[in-house]
Amino acid sequence: MKAKLISYTDVTVPTPPYKKSTKSGIVEDEKGKRQLVGIDDEHYNILKIGMEGRIEKRVTDFGEFNFFVPEIKEKKEVSKVALITGATRGIGKAIALELARKGFNIVINDLELQDAGAEAINEIKKGGREAIFIKADISKYEEVEKMVKEAVEKLGRMDVLINNAGMNIDRLLINMTPEQWQKVIDVDLTGTYNCTKAVLPHMMQQGGGRIVNVSSMSALDGAIGQANYAAAKGGVVSLTKTIAMEYAQYNILCNAIAPGCIRTRMTDAMPPGMLRERVSQIPLGRRGEPEEVAKLVVFLVTEGNYITGQLINISAGEYI
Ligand SMILES: NC(=O)c1ccc[n+]([C@@H]2O[C@H](COP(=O)([O-])OP(=O)(O)OC[C@H]3O[C@@H](n4cnc5c(N)ncnc54)[C@H](O)[C@@H]3O)[C@@H](O)[C@H]2O)c1
């Protein structure tokens, strides 16, 4: 049924289904009858008093409620935006390239651009998508906040966050200094918190978002010499589950992945004997490629609309 918008508010009210709060408004239908309706977050910013639209009845498991859907005269196609941390090389770079192929505009974050990052930006632009580099240390909240503000100013949106940046300082716990412990926790765990906190308001306002946190098999198994790394990546899993629970009501889904042994600078740095020994324990008998991890991330972001709060293992059977 057609309707005209009489008033609206951004104060969210609990409407059926009572698990959700929605922005709301008053509309007048063709017969002059006024009623309270829900308004989707994605429509809120384009509302004007007197605007025409239609009343849409939504039936959910919890009951029925009417929503106002404004009539959008000319719909401009806007590309979604993905921010990938630590994306100038390795797994992050592969994720950035793969998401660009799927039509996302890309923000590449890292400590430095490096040649490989510049190459990625050129490749994305050649493919017809926007790509920008924003330097920020994810362990510092002020830098992350500035990065997200700049990303939204330049690309207009924030739809996907891939918390990929990470580092390790490996040694037995007995030899690990408090500084070495803290540094890895600050980057791998606090960095994930920082970036998530900074993007959430934008995703909530836009009506949804997708977050993928790159954890590790060390989170599941522990790892000798990686007390700081395993604790941080384990924390990332618990953080993922909590984010999933808190923000599902805003259509923000959050999952984690646990890559096994992937061919990047991180595993190139292993002593050759140790790397050979590890690969010999992988049922598929080889390291994974960053592109293989990127395909899983792209699936979660573009297809996984009924998956949240999960840790997905990608290790060729190294963890069963
Ligand atoms: N390679 C593997 O086998 C493997 C396995 C499991 C998990 N992981 C995880 O995958 C992610 C990517 O790892 P990779 O193998 O591509 O490693 P990599 O070292 O090639 O890439 C990590 C990137 O993160 C960036 N980075 C580090 N600290 C940062 C900070 N404070 N702020 C911003 N950027 C920062 C680095 O500069 C680098 O470009 C990491 O979180 C890592 O822990 C990797």
User: pLDDT, tens digit, for every residue of 190-247?
Assistant: 999 999 999 999 999 999 999 999 999 999 999 999 999 999 999 999 999 999 999 9
pLDDT above 90 coverage of the chain, percent:
82
d(CA 163, CA 194): 10
Helices (H), 171-287: 178-184, 191-206, 218-221, 227-247, 265-268, 272-280
Q: pLDDT value at position 256?
A: 98
The band of 45, judged by pLDDT with boundaries at 50, 70 and 90, is confident
Residue of 110, 119, 135, 312 to test ligand 1 pocket, by largest number of atoms within 8 Å of CB: 110
Atom index in ligand 1 nearest the CA of residue 112 equals 37
* Half-sphere exposure for 107 (CA within 13 Å, toward CB): 30
Q: With a threshold of 0.85, does the pTM exceed it? A: yes
pLDDT at 17 over 70: no
Question: Domain 81-314, what architecture?
Answer: 3-Layer(aba) Sandwich (3.40)
Average pLDDT on 296-310 reads: 98
Q: Where are the beta strands (DSSP E) in 71-192?
A: 81-84, 105-110, 131-135, 160-163
Q: pLDDT value at position 21?
A: 66
Report, in this order, helix, strand and coil percent for the chain, each rounded to 5. 40, 25, 30
* Amino acid making up residue 27: V
Count H helices, E strands: the chain? 11, 12
* Residue of higher predicted confidence among 119 and 20: 119
The band of 262, judged by pLDDT with boundaries at 50, 70 and 90, is very high
Cα(250) to centroid(ligand 1), Å: 29
The band of 19, judged by pLDDT with boundaries at 50, 70 and 90, is low
pLDDT above 70 coverage of the chain, percent:
95
d(CA 181, CA 179): 5
* Token code pair at residue 14: 């609990």
pLDDT at 63 over 80: no
Is the alpha carbon torsion for 309, 311, 314, 316 positive or negative? negative
Residue-range domain boundaries for the chain: 2-70, 81-314
Which amino acid residue places its CA nearest to atom 19 of ligand 1?
A: 266
Q: pLDDT value at position 185?
A: 98
- Residues serving a catalytic function are 229
**256 within ligand 1 shell (Cβ under 6 A):** no
d(CA 239, CA 193): 8
